[in-house]
Amino acid sequence: MTTIAIYPGSFDPLTNGHLDVVERAATLFGRVIVAVAHQTDKSPLFTVQERIGMVKEAVASLSNVEVDDFQTLLVDYVRAKGARVIVRGLRAVSDFEFEFQMALMNRTLAPEVETLFMMPKDSYSYLSSRITKQIAALGGDISQFVPPHVERLLRKKLAPSSSRAPVNP
C-alpha cells in the first residue's frame, strides 16, 4: 500500500529549502502532496493560485509529488486524503517550539497521523520565505535561494510599477 505524506505550508514563496524537503520526502514516500494553505496569519504576498503554480512548476520532474491546496483543519485534510504522515521542515531551534506545539496538537486531534521532521541541506537552514522577500524587496540577489521561475515572479510582484525598471533586471 502506498504511504501518502502531506507537506503543508504557506510557500509564500516556495524556496530552495522547501524544495529540499520535498525532494527528501519524495525518496521516502510513495506519494507526497505539497498542500498550500489558504489559512495563514502571515498576510501572504502571493495568492493561493500563484503559490500553487510556483510549487507545481518546481516539482514537475518529481513523478510522485502532487500539489494541492487546503482550507480546512490540517488533520481533517490529511484524513480526507487517506494520508498517515505530515512532513514539516525543521531549520533551527527557533522553529522547534512552534513545530512541537503543532505536532502534539495534531496528534491529540488525530492520533493515527504522525508528524515527521526533516532537516534541509545545511546551507538552507537559515533560509525562509520571509527573509527572501525582504532581500528581494531591497533589490538583493536571491538567485541562490529560490528557483529561477520564483525569482522572476517575486521581482514582478515587487516591481514598484511597470513604468520603472526593476532594481536588478
Q: State yes or no: residue 131 binds ligand ADP (CB under 6 A).
A: no
Q: Let me know if 18 is a catalytic residue.
A: yes
Q: Which of 24, 56, 79, 91 is catalytic?
A: 91
Q: Which of residues 61-100 bind ligand ADP (CB under 6 A)?
A: 88-89, 91, 95
Residue 8: CB minimum distance to ligand ADP, A: 6
CA distance 59 to 155: 21
Q: Let me know if 91 is a catalytic residue.
A: yes
Among 4, 17, 26, 75, binds ligand ADP (CB under 6 A): 17
What is the phi/psi pair of residue 6, to 5°?
Answer: -110, 130
**CA-to-CA separations, 145 to 27, 64, 90, in angstroms, rounded:** 22, 24, 17
Q: Let me know if 42 is a catalytic residue.
A: yes
Binding-site ranges for ligand ADP (CB under 6 A)? 9-11, 15, 17-18, 21, 40, 42, 88-89, 91, 95, 120, 124, 127-129
